[in-house]
Amino acid sequence: MEQGEITLEFDGDIALIGINRPDKRNALHSAMFVEIGEAIEAAGLEAKAAVIFGVGNHFSAGLDLAQIRNAIAEDPGRRLQIGPHPAHVAFDRIQRGRIPVVAALTGAVIGAGLEVAASAHVRVADETAFFGLPEAQRGIFVGAGGSVRIQRLIGTARMTDMMLTGRILSADEAVAQNLVQYVVEPGGALEKAKQLALAMASNTAESNWAITQGLSRINDLSYDDGLFFETIVARSAVSASSHGRLTDFVEKRSAPLARPTTTN
């Protein structure tokens, strides 16, 4: 795709999606949501896993507030916008698209930027990353899926605290609150994210699909319904390549499991 404010490149089996507005700390405007959705759709047709990252020193400082201010001035009555929010459509394509997505987080991961990150399946932050939800201080509310995704990651109490007080979390605090899964040294987030994406790409497409599509839905179900749905998902994950992989393991031809690693 054209290399504009959202970029898309391929590195073997990995798609690299960049938020490319570094002069504005990668602040997001409405057209960029659509472009993110288009990029992830294109990535899913060619790659086996994807990494989303911010070009420059920041992942994303959130919404372009000047655009929102101007939109309010042009339409002070704030007529109801019919149809789904473009960000909801785009970020759902990340969370429930064809391939797993890793977010590489540096610098500001604020507001809508955090909402983008929350839609990824795994998040890697370097030590420069900081996280916040300052919408209340700006007179607005999260609107790109954060009240659903972020709340389910960190819980209602923590998200309420962040929104009401403007509290900023460091990378270490974010990993402690389950907001990110890995913390690395400054400048190391993208490389670590690529490594994780490569590991994901080595799985069968059916297993990755079962994990990315099944777990979040099972989490929404009751206990009994979750077990029933797990049975359906588990059976759908079995593919023609399953037999070969199981045989390699039984006959000790497969690589040993990686040793456990810490979050940092």
Per residue in 78-111, pLDDT (tens digit) is 555 666 788 889 999 999 999 999 999 999 999 9
Catalytic residue list: 115, 135
Q: What is the mean pLDDT of the chain?
A: 87
Q: What is the value of pTM for the model shown?
A: 0.85
Which pLDDT does position 136 carry in this prediction? 79
Q: What is the pLDDT confidence band of residue 168, given thresholds at 50, 70 and 90? A: very high
Which pLDDT does position 28 carry in this prediction? 93
Flag the least confident range among 63-72, 82-91, 103-112, 114-123.
Answer: 63-72
Which pLDDT does position 203 carry in this prediction? 93
What is the average per-residue pLDDT within 14-18? 98
| Domain at 6-201, CATH from 3.40.50.1970, 3.40.50.620, 3.90.226.10, 3.30.930.10 | 3.90.226.10
Which pLDDT does position 183 carry in this prediction? 98
How many Cα atoms are found within 13 Å in the side-chain-facing hemisphere of 133?
Answer: 25
Which pLDDT does position 244 carry in this prediction? 62
Beta-ladder partners of 52: 17, 103
Does 74 have pLDDT greater than 90?
no
Which pLDDT does position 138 carry in this prediction? 78
- Residue 158, both tokens: 């923590």
SS3 per residue for the chain: CCCCCEEEEEECCEEEEEECCHHHCCCECHHHHHHHHHHHHHHHHHCCEEEEEECCCCCECCECHHHHHHHHHHCCCCCCCCCCCHHHHHHHHHHCCCCCEEEEECCEEECHHHHHHHHCCEEEEECCCEEECCHHHHCCCCCCCHHHHHHHHHCHHHHHHHHHHCCCEEHHHHHHCCCCCEEECCCCHHHHHHHHHHHHHCCCHHHHHHHHHHHHHHHCCCHHHHHHHHHHHHHHHCCHHHHHHHHHHHCCCCCCCCCCCCCC
Does 51 have pLDDT greater than 90?
yes
pLDDT tens, 183-235?
999 999 999 999 999 999 999 998 999 899 888 888 888 989 888 888 888 87
Beta-ladder partners of 105: 125
Sheet holding 130-132, edge to edge: 108-110, 130-132, 169-170
Does 38 have pLDDT greater than 70?
yes
**Residue scoring higher pLDDT (32 or 243):** 32
Residue 49 backbone phi and psi in degrees, to 5? -160, 165
Does 49 have pLDDT greater than 90?
yes
Q: Write down the domain spans for the chain.
A: 6-201, 205-250
